[in-house]
Structure 1
Amino acid sequence: MSRHTLYLDGWQRESNWGWDPGQSVWYAQLWAEGTEPGGNDGHDAPALWLTPPSYEIQLRQVLAAHIADFLDIALERVLQAFAESYEGPWQIYGGENDYEPEPPLANQ
């Protein structure tokens, strides 16, 4: 599973997005500043949690659109945040590889 920090103003640094190969979906979890990330043991659940079964997102662009709509910000800002945190070889802004899963680690 890939996990990338999502750097957006007003949101905790624990906010993240990535690819879940077990379910073949993109996911995101966002915690607002001033909350205690965790979701259990007295910690706050994410303000936005895009995961199955409610969301089965197979394109990064669609994931970004859901985040932009929820936060009421420009799609381009979310795509920029993806690009700033993404370390993979594929495009963030769409294109033929936008649907591809993360590559396996070299030592797997």
Structure 2
Amino acid sequence: MPGWDHYSTWGYDEGLDCLYAQLFANQDDPDAAPRIWITQPRYLVRTVDELVVAIAKALTPHVPAPVPSEVIESWLTTPPR
């Protein structure tokens, strides 16, 4: 996602049987803890659609305008170049 694409990551945690996301704003220190961490127990995310919603909500206080779900979904589903 623009502004969050340098260090952020997401994936599937087999041990917890759920999806997760670790979001860093591009200006954040990549050696620090993620600014936003979407994982259990606060979030129980099993589908990409649920992860899109969780990311959109979690980003709201950190961005000047809400990020459209389509942008988040594209970021999650488009392979890196």
Quick check: TM above 0.5? yes
Gaps of 5+ in 1: 1-7, 39-43, 87-108
SS in 1 for 2:37: strand
> 1:21 maps to what in 2?
14
Q: After superposition, give the CA deviation of every residue in 1:54-77 in whole Å (9 maximum; x if it has no partner).
A: 112111101111112233211111
Instruction: State the TM-score, normalizing by the size of structure 1.
Output: 0.62
Structure with more of its chain in helix, by fraction = 2
Residue 53 of structure 1: which of 28, 33, 41 is its match? 41
Q: How many residues align?
A: 74
Which protein shows a greater Rg? 1
Could you tell me the percent identity over the aligned residues? 32
Would you identify which runs of 4 or more consecutive aligned residues in structure 1 move more than 4 Å?
none
Q: What are the superposed Cα offsets for residues 38-93 of structure 1, whole Å, 9 maximum, x if unpaired?
A: 3xxxxx2211100112112111101111112233211111111112138xxxxxxx
Alignment of 1:1-108 (within 5 A): 8-38=1-31, 44-71=32-59, 72-85=66-79
Other structure's SS at 1:85 match = coil
